[in-house]
Amino acid sequence: MKTQNKNSYIDTIYLAIGEIIISLIVVAVYLIIGLFKWQVVTGVALGSVVTVLNYIILSFAVNRAINKFMALRGDKEMNEEEAEAFAKANTVKVQNAITKSYLLRTTLMMGALVLSLITGYFDTIPTIIPLIMYKPLLYAVEFVKKKRGE
C-alpha cells in the first residue's frame, strides 16, 4: 500500500501544479480583457484549494477503505467460495466509506460556490473554473505519467 500512497502524493502534486497553471491563465485572461480585480485572485485560490483538498480527501478515503478491507481479509488463503462470501460481506463497508467521502467532497465544492456567491471576497467565475478543471487535469496527469513511463 505504500506505493499507492506515494502515487497519491505524486498525483496530488501534479494536480496542484495544474491548478496553479489554470489559475495563472485565468488571472492573465482577466488582465487581458481588463476585468481584473483582487477578487479574481482570491476566487482562483479558493477554487484551486478546494479542488486539491477534494483530491486529498478522495485519496485518503479510498486508501483507508481498502486498507481496512485488506486488514479484515488477513493473510490466509481463501478458496473461490470463501473469497466471494468475504467480498459480499464487506463490499458494502467500502462503498459506504466512498459514499461518505463523495458527500463530504460535494458539500465542500458547494460550500466554495456559495461562499463565492454570498461574500464579496471571491469572484464566482474564477472560483468555478478550477473546480471544473478537476477531471481534465486528472486526465492530463495520467497522460503525462504514461508518457513518462510512471
The gap between the terminal CA atoms of the chain, to the nearest Å, is 17
Residue identified by cell 488477513 is: 74
Q: How confident is the model at residue 62 (pLDDT cuts 50, 70, 90)?
A: confident
Q: Give the chain's mean pLDDT.
A: 87
What's the pTM value of the predicted model, to 2 decimals? 0.82
Q: How confident is the model at residue 49 (pLDDT cuts 50, 70, 90)?
A: very high
Q: In the prediction, which pLDDT does 6 show?
A: 65
> Comparing 39-53, 69-83, 111-125, which segment has the lowest mean pLDDT?
69-83
Q: How confident is the model at residue 36 (pLDDT cuts 50, 70, 90)?
A: very high
